[in-house]
Amino acid sequence: MSVERGVGAAFCVLTDVNITHRWSTRLSLRNTVFQAEILALLKAVEHAVSLPTRQLTILVDNQASINSAANPKSHNSIARKIFKLLHSHPHIRVSWIKAHAGYIGNEEVDRLAKEAAETENFPETPLELPKSFIKTFLRHKMLATWQMAWDDGDTGRLIHNIIPKVSLHPINWTRNEVLFFTGHGPFPSFLHRFNLAETSFCSCGEIGTPIHYATVCLLTTSYHMEPPSQQHQPIWFRRVANNSTSRRKMHNLLHFLQRETSLFRPDPN
């Protein structure tokens, strides 16, 4: 049983109508309900093995733990222990019962498990952490490390302004969006850095940057968007990236720039 303060596991022995033995333990909050159920089944089987040999039935309200214990190739080490014990002690049977159906022993087990889970100083049984917790923990750790590197990095600052938070979900930008937002496209300001253009100037006389063509260039007025002030340029790029109308304009602008390359290069004469 899992409650806000912990996870509990328990079993009891019912002889005729009397409860003759009780066992319960507390698990870490990081452990799962399934781990509690499978541990309780193991302890019940171990207790049954210690009793005089006679037909015994262990009633369990968790079908998943029964199925796991019935599989000799289960990935769960506790389930494999249960399988071996049951295989070597055929007088012990395990059967499923419906939960919360008024069975005396089952109601007592729920009470014991809840008590163990809610009592902070209750004896705790250490169990290996579940894979689900480890995966979640490592994912969060990896994302935190990645976020720190992304925030403190020296490169990709233009993209950091647009996408400040790292994510495992791809942005799915198109080629033109990558060219525009990184500035690594058909722009004189970029091409000149790699000696692919004689100058970083547009033929209109201004520096040929993505924001220049998208807002003020005399040759691209059909594709203009509202120009931002210098200090608001990072916010402007973010708004363009998040606005479908602005992105369509940007796509059309890139197609125009790529189609009319010579128009934007200053006449060397």
Sequence spans of domains, the chain: 7-129, 172-263
pLDDT at 5: 73
Q: What is the pLDDT of residue 261?
A: 85
Q: What are the C-alpha distances in Å from 184 to residues 161, 179, 189, 241, 247?
A: 16, 5, 9, 16, 17
Asked whether residue 267 carries a pLDDT value surpassing 80, the answer given is: no
7-129: CATH topology is: Nucleotidyltransferase; domain 5 (3.30.420)
Alpha-carbon distance 238 to 234, whole Å? Answer: 6
- Residue 82's nearest CA partner among 96, 70, 95 is 70
Find the mean pLDDT for residues 134-147.
96
Rounded mean pLDDT, 18-25: 95
CA separation, residue 251 to residues 18, 148, 161, 225 (Å): 78, 32, 20, 13
What are the CA-CA distances from residue 82 to residues 46, 71, 88, 106 (Å)? 8, 10, 10, 20
pLDDT for 268 equals 58
Q: Looking at this protein, which amino acid is placed at residue 61? A: D
Per-residue pLDDT of 180-212, as tens digits, reads: 999 999 999 999 999 999 999 999 999 999 999
CA-CA distance, 122 to 116, in Å (whole number)?
A: 6
